[in-house]
């Protein structure tokens, strides 16, 4: 398969979020492409690992919940997030701004 830069795509196995995943890598520009089936397989393996119980802790006069280490690739110190609380479900959701 040819890359848009004119290079040749070669199949390779790389570690993505700790999971070995098959990707196609361009030998010229190093672009990595992942097939839909492989992306779904990797997602199914990763999603259960992100569901964790956490304790509410006190930081100064505020309450806090720490973000699991596995989510480091998605959140960086200083990122702005939006927090939504649903009192009926007693559920908090967090998303990046």
Q: Say which residues have a Cβ less than 8 Å from residue 45's Cβ, sequence separation at least 6.
A: 19
- Residue 40 is inside which H or E element, if any? helix 36-50
Determine the pLDDT at residue 52.
80
The reported pTM is 0.47
Half-sphere exposure of residue 86, counting CA atoms within 13 Å on the CB side?
Answer: 6
Determine the pLDDT at residue 67.
87
Structure tokens that stand for 79 in this block: 């990122």
Q: Are 23 and 33 in contact (CB under 8 A)?
A: yes
Structure tokens that stand for 68 in this block: 């699991």
Determine the pLDDT at residue 36.
92
């Amino acid at each position: 398969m040819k890359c848009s830069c004119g290079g040749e795509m070669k199949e390779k196995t790389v570690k993505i979020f700790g999971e070995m995943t098959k990707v196609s890598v361009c030998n010229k520009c190093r672009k990595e492409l992942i097939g839909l089936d492989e992306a779904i397989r990797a997602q199914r393996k990763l999603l259960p690992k992100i569901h964790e119980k956490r304790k509410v802790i006190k930081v100064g006069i505020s309450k806090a919940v720490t973000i699991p280490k596995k989510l480091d690739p998605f959140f960086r110190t200083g990122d702005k997030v939006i927090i939504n609380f649903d009192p009926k479900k007693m559920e908090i959701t967090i998303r990046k701004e």
